[in-house]
């Protein structure tokens, strides 16, 4: 149930071509497990003078729920197991596939 809600929420807020920013917050001693944070930054349509014009959304919990990855409350990140490749990019590509199938693209930006 949480998986469907998370996919629906992400499907409404993400558009093809959006950039997904990742921050690796922690790596295990073996290098095979990471805690990764996922963010989206979008310009606000309406804002007051002097107000921040960019809205940032931490989508880590929804990403974890949508893809069945563990969410780590201690760090507020997605727990991802694997090595030998960019695991942030792997998760973004998996999310892209779940939301758009073959009809859309999400762009991974590691920070």
Residue 26: what pLDDT?
95
Of residues 82 and 45, more confidence is placed in 82
Residue pair 25/75 in contact by the 8 Å Cβ criterion: yes
| CA contacts within 13 A on the Cβ side of 15 | 3
Q: How far apart are CA 26 and CA 79, in angstroms?
A: 9
Residue partners of 2: CB distance under 8 A and separation at least 6: 65
Q: What is the pLDDT of residues 33-47, one digit of tens each?
A: 999 999 999 888 887
The neighbouring-strand residues paired with 36 are 24, 78
Residue 48: what pLDDT?
83
Domain ranges of the chain: 2-110
Q: What is the pLDDT of residues 13-31, one digit of tens each?
A: 999 999 999 999 999 999 9
């Amino acid at each position: 149930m949480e998986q469907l809600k998370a996919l629906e929420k992400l499907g409404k807020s993400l558009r093809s071509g959006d950039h997904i920013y990742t921050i690796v917050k922690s790596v295990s001693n073996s290098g095979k497990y990471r805690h990764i944070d996922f963010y989206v930054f979008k310009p606000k349509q309406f804002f007051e003078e002097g107000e921040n014009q960019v809205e940032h959304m931490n989508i880590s919990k929804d990403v974890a729920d949508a893809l069945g990855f563990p969410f780590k409350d201690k760090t507020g990140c997605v727990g991802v197991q694997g090595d030998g490749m960019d695991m942030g990019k792997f998760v973004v590509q998996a999310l892209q596939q779940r939301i758009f199938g073959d009809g859309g693209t999400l762009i991974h930006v590691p920070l």
